[in-house]
A = this chain, B = another copy of it.
Amino acid sequence: MPGIRETKKKETRQAIMQAAMTLFSEKGFDQTSIEELAKAAGIGKGTIYGYFQTKTDILHAFCEDELERLHQELTSNADQEIPILQQMVSIYMAEFKKITENREFARLFMQQTAFPRDVDLDRHLEHENDYFKLLFPLLEKAQERGELRKDVELLYITGHFYGLYLLLVSAWFSGRVQTEEASMALQTLFRQAIEGLHPRPEPLSNEGNKHV
C-alpha cells in the first residue's frame, strides 16, 4: 500500500514537471517565473523547492526522464550484430535529435550534464552508470567480433565516442554544424576515431576514406 503521502508526492512532482514544460516551451525558460509555474501546477511557490533545488533542476529532471525513456527504447530495439560504428551513430544521433529539439533546453541541460555542480554529482554518476549498462555490452560484443581493440578499457572506448558527441553538440551550438549535417558529421568522426588519425599504407576496408 503506497500511502497517501507517497502517492501525492509523485503526483505533485509530475504536475510541476508537466506545468514547467508547457510554460517553458510556450514562453521560454527565463520568461517563466516560479510563481507562475506554481500557480499553473496548482500549488504554492515554496512547495516547488521541496521537489527541486533550483529552477534549472526542473528542466534538467525533465530532460533526464526523456532520455531515460529514449535509452529504454534504444536498448530494446538494438541490433547487436550490425557494425559498432553504425550502432554508436544510431544511439548518439537519437540522443542528439532529442536534445536539439529545443535549443534553450539543450543548452541548460548540456551545461549541467557536462560540467555538473558538486551538489548534483551523486545523481549524475548514477545516471552515467545506467548509460554504461546500455553501452558496455554492445562494445564488448564488438570487441569479441574483432571490431574494437581489446586492450582499451570499455570506459575509455565510451569516452572516445562520448567526447566526439560533446564536440558535435558544441559545434551545433556554435553554428559550425547544421542540424541536417549532424548525422554525416558524427558518422565521419566516429569512423575516423575507429580507423585512427595515423595514416596507414593500406586501408582497412573499402568502406573507409570516402569522406573527409
Contacts and interface: CB of A to CB of B under 8 A. Distances in A.
22 contacts: A103-B118, A110-B114, A111-B114, A114-B173, A116-B173, A116-B174, A124-B174, A125-B175, A128-B174, A151-B209, A152-B197, A156-B188, A156-B189, A157-B197, A159-B171, A159-B189, A160-B189, A160-B192, A162-B167, A166-B166, A193-B196, A194-B198
Interface in A162-212: 162-164, 166-167, 169-171, 173-175, 188-189, 192-200, 204, 209, 212
A160 B212 contact: no
B111 A156 contact: no
Q: How many copies does the complex hold?
A: 2
A174 B121 CA distance: 6
Contacts of A196: 193-198
Interface string A141-152: 000001111111
Interface SS, A side: helix
Interface of A: 103, 106-107, 110-111, 114-118, 121, 124-125, 128, 146-153, 156-157, 159-160, 162-164, 166-167, 169-171, 173-175, 188-189, 192-200, 204, 209, 212
Given A156-B189, A156-B192, A150 B199 contact: yes
